[in-house]
Chain A
């Protein structure tokens, strides 16, 4: 079958650049990571084949399991709290109120800020000795919160900062999604005697589901990968590794601790994990989402 008659080579030539980029920057490094994951690398670059040892030790390591657990809690919070908050704010700012556009912009601008800058800001605000929030908390409650030593405080700080930085983006998409919900459907529901609450759950929320599914995916990617910059600026994975999420642990093990082999094994596992999670998410969201109007 020839879908492009008279052009036998051209289609291939046209996709060549993309294929080349994918092979050079994705496939080959991935192959190297798999190869490396079966080796230990000495501090001077010599490789030693260790079979499955990196994988076995990874699953037996309390540090890895701790990191895995924390990553799961972190992503659940970023997605759960973040999206709920974003949806509430989006609902409020799409009401017919004075200055709705102002509120929408005011809430969305946080996304324009780089996670690094946001991280620096949050870490200074909560700095135990010079931060204004740390001072307010201690004068209000008498508790001194030190995220340099308190694992829970550090975890919450990173989570809150992540929710905050993603808020603008989430609101932006929810606002767009809400504006696309046909008004006549809501009117029909009201005429049938549905309350505002019922209208939201029966009409608006299902109509929003493509947006929600998309945002769940984007926020998962953020929690698993893009949170890196924030972590690196705010906690460097500490204290006591409480914020050393999977992606950050790969970086620390591979580059700081010079254990490339172990880091490669982790990245291969993370790849498999994300592939499975992504597949499940896309499968369920395309099945459950209401795309037709």
Chain B
């Protein structure tokens, strides 16, 4: 009796499986994998965008896969490509730009419409993003989640220390002075911390229109050496060292480690990517007033004005995708550039609205009045210089390693070592890595 029932169940299950397989075979949606590194608050937003796209056309499906940090994503893509297991779309951070260009694994973004016999206006993306990811005037990766760095500050702390919250520091000297006052007033133990400390160093150079590496900041050829330590870095890092000694600046670790200190009101100023904006606003809630402003400069008037750097990531497409897959990818990219989608993405993550149409839509609906913090970084980068190699951002192969060496130098400086010597040592290591990278092209 029991055995018979089992047999029936087996037959029914088999029939169901076959029926489902038949349904699947009849429709055959084209699915493209999309590897990304969007964690925290950004993960939900990305999944929502992809789910909405998938709902539009059941025959075109994007499958998002979170593969770890930016660094891991780059390494894994490379390993997967060699094994023939790579996804159609991969999200790569700005650091991987040169590596991806040199990789021979991707279709440059500007060639995607061409291959499908279509056209696409790349002029619709905002200028600094296009400039950052272009090579010889053409976009090599699809603009997606771009950001820059800015200062987040706790306005309640400034009030408590008798400082004007409408006048946050604009120079590093003021930052130091404010920090000392905040500590003296007993508001905080430490005033300032950085997210992505290596990137803040890069930003400081670009903000003063100074190149990071030779060969036109790596934009005219593969660089062979970094430009620092120099007069500017001496001046800047002496100040940082002083701030560390007096407890104004506390080194808060790499990436997003320092956010927790800001969100819990332990520090007053946080220099961090705009992409943390919505996460910070949500976490802080009503516990204090979060405000944002431009990155600080050195007061010394001899340094020119440059711009802050584009950070975040863009999307690359494997050069082994079929035309059917490329069609899906192109549709997805077009969907990401749709005004309503770009607006949604910006509002919920803090990343830039990538297209001009999205910026206009946001302005028309009064979004920037309603949430001025969402405008800060954007204004900063749009009002800065965009026509020099220094302000467009550097490009180099062993960029991830260079960042690690800069971080090492900053850790040493924060721990009281001599800034010049610390930076000198890191510069030597980076130059050796550059030479090693260039050997591959001999």
Contact A43 B408 (CB under 8 A): no
Q: Are B401 and A236 in contact (CB under 8 A)?
A: no
Stretch at the interface among A30-38, A44-52, A104-112, A175-183: A44-52
The answer to the question of A239 belonging to the interface, with a C-beta cut-off of 8 Å to chain B, is yes
Q: List which B258-290 residues lie within 8 A (CB) of chain A.
A: 258, 260-261, 264, 266-267
Indicate whether A114 reaches chain B with its CB closer than 8 angstroms.
no
Among residues of B, the one whose C-beta sits closest to the C-beta of A44 is B103
Judge whether B105 is part of the interface by a CB distance below 8 angstroms. Answer: yes
Bound-state Cα–Cα, A255 to B75, Å:
6
Contact partner of A148 (CB less than 8 A), chosen from B104, B252, B264, B401, is: B252
Provide the residues of chain A in CB contact with B436, threshold 8 Å. Answer: 40
Does B437 belong to the interface (CB within 8 Å)? yes
CB distance from A259 to the nearest CB of B (A): 8
Q: What residues of chain B lie closer than 8 Å to A43, measured between beta carbons?
A: 78, 99, 102-103, 397, 437, 440
* Pick from B75, B105, B250, B267: contact of A258, CB under 8 Å: B75
Least Cβ distance of B316 to chain A in Å? 13
Interface residues of A in 132-169 (CB under 8 A from B): 138, 144, 146, 148-151
In the bound complex, do residue A238 and residue B411 qualify as a contact, i.e. CB atoms below 8 Å apart?
yes
Contact code string A223-248 (vs B, CB < 8 Å = 1, else 0): 00000000000001011110000000
Is there contact, CB below 8 Å, between B251 and A146? Answer: yes
Chain B 348-390, CB-CB to A under 8 Å as 1, else 0, gives 0000000000000000000000000000000000000000000
Contact A240-B408, Cβ < 8 Å, known A148-B251, A150-B415: yes
* Chain B residues, CB < 8 A from A255: 71-72, 75
> For chain A, which range describes its interface: under 10, 10 to 19, 20 to 34, or 35 or more residues?
20 to 34
Q: A63 to nearest B CB, angstroms?
A: 9
Please give me the residue from chain A that is nearest to B414 by CB atom. Answer: A149
Indicate whether A42 reaches chain B with its CB closer than 8 angstroms.
yes
Instruction: Answer whether A148 and B257 are a contact pair too, CB < 8 Å, given A43-B78, A130-B264, A239-B415.
Output: yes
In the complex, the answer to whether B78 meets A258 with C-beta atoms within 8 Å is yes
- The answer, yes or no, to whether B404 is at the interface (CB within 8 Å) is yes
Counting CB contacts under 8 A, is A210 at the interface?
no
A193 close to B (CB within 8 Å): no
Q: Does residue B229 face the partner (Cβ distance < 8 Å to A)?
A: no
Chain A residue contacts of B165, Cβ below 8 A? none
Asked whether B437 lies within 8 Å of A144 as measured between CB atoms, the reply is no
Task: Indicate if B81 sits at the interface (CB-CB under 8 A).
Answer: yes
CB distance from B406 to the nearest CB of A (A): 12
A257 sits at the interface (CB 8 A): yes
Q: A148 to B411, alpha carbons, bound, how many Å?
A: 7
Nearest Cβ on chain B to A42's Cβ, whole angstroms: 4
B400 A258 Cβ-Cβ under 8 A: yes
**CB atoms of B247 and A130 under 8 A apart:** no
A206 on the interface (CB 8 Å rule)? no
Q: Knowing A48-B440, A258-B400 touch, does A149 contact B189 (C-beta < 8 A)?
A: no
B261 in contact with A257 (CB, 8 Å): no
B-chain residues with CB within 8 Å of residue A48 when the two chains form the complex = 440
Which A residues, 200 to 240, have Cβ-Cβ distances below 8 Å to chain B?
236, 238-240
B193 touches A257 (CB 8 A): no
Interface assignment of A99: CB less than 8 Å from any CB of chain B:
no
Dominant SS among interface residues on chain A: loop
With most chain A CB atoms within 10 A of its CB, the pick from B193, B266, B411 is B411
Give the distance in Å from the alpha carbon of A239 to the alpha carbon of B409 in the complex: 10
Partner of A149, one of B104, B411, B437, B440: B411
Q: Is A5 part of the binding interface, using a Cβ–Cβ cutoff of 8 Å? A: no
Residue numbers in B under 8 Å from A148 (CB-CB):
251-253, 257, 411, 414
The answer on a CB contact under 8 Å between A238 and B247 is: no
Contact mask for chain B residues 172-205; partner A; CB cutoff 8 A; 1 contact, 0 none: 0000000000000000011001000000000000
Contacts A130-B264, A239-B411 given; indicate if A44 touches B78 (C-beta within 8 A): yes
Q: Are A46 and B260 in contact (CB under 8 A)?
A: no
Question: Which residues of chain A are within 8 angstroms of B71 by Cβ–Cβ distance?
Answer: 255-256
A198 within 8 A of B: no
**Binary interface profile of B, 59-89, with partner A (CB < 8 Å = 1, else 0)?**
0000000000001100100100110000000
- List B contacts of A241 (CB < 8 A): 408
Interface string of A242-272 (1 = CB under 8 A from B): 0000000000000111100000000000000
Asked if B189 and A144 make an inter-chain contact with CB atoms under 8 angstroms apart, the answer reads yes
List of B residues within 8 angstroms of A146 by Cβ: 250-251, 414
Chain B min CB distance to A143 (Å): 12
Contact status A129-B437, CB under 8 Å: no
A238 to B254 alpha-carbon distance, docked (Å)? 10
Q: List 13 A-B contacts (CB under 8 A).
A: A42-B440, A43-B99, A43-B102, A44-B102, A45-B81, A129-B264, A129-B267, A149-B244, A239-B415, A240-B408, A256-B400, A256-B404, A258-B401
Which residues does A use to contact B, with CB under 8 Å? Answer: 40, 42-46, 48, 127-130, 138, 144, 146, 148-151, 236, 238-241, 255-258
20 further contact pairs, Cβ within 8 A, besides A45-B78, A129-B252:
A40-B436, A40-B439, A44-B102, A44-B103, A127-B261, A129-B189, A130-B266, A138-B189, A144-B189, A149-B411, A238-B407, A239-B408, A255-B75, A256-B71, A256-B404, A257-B401, A257-B404, A258-B75, A258-B99, A258-B398
